[in-house]
Amino acid sequence: MLPGPHRLKRPSDFGQAVRRGARAATPTVVVHVMRRNDQDPPEFTRVGFVVSKKVGNAVERNRVKRRLRHLSGQFDLSARRDVVVRALPDASSQPDRLADDLASAWRRATARAAA
């Protein structure tokens, strides 16, 4: 599970990460990673989730969001970066692929942001 302080909450933070961050996509998710300056608090990774109505009804969207929140807790959250995970419509219809797709996109976006 992802602790509360590790979550992106402000719309401006989401917008910055999406506009200025490195992006990697898979069939079920798109991950945007933006490195923050060493002076910017906090000292750890913050993660935000975007699950639009195209994914499904409220029950399906919340299920996808809970699953993504749980899966994102397995990654290294010690670096100063903001991550936005955007679920695509296939995320609800292919839940078995979600973990692998998230890991793959997270790895690739993190590598691109570091370069």
pLDDT digits (tens, 9 = 90+) for 27-61: 999 999 999 877 767 788 999 999 999 999 999 99
pTM for this model (two decimals): 0.91
Cβ neighbours of residue 112 closer than 8 Å, sequence gap 6 or more: 22, 23, 24, 33
Say how far apart CA 21 and CA 31 lie, in whole Å: 9
What secondary structure does DSSP assign to the chain, as a single string?
---GGGB---HHHHHHHHHHSEEEE-SSEEEEEEE--TTSS-SS-EEEEEE-GGG-SHHHHHHHHHHHHHHHTTS---SSEEEEEEE-THHHH-HHHHHHHHHHHHHHHHHHHH-
- What pLDDT score does 89 carry? 96
Which tokens in the block code for residue 68?
A: 């993504």
Instruction: Indicate the class that CATH gives domain 4-114.
Output: alpha beta
Where are the domains positioned within the chain?
A: 4-114
Place of tokens 């195209």: 54
pLDDT digits (tens, 9 = 90+) for 100-112: 999 999 999 999 9
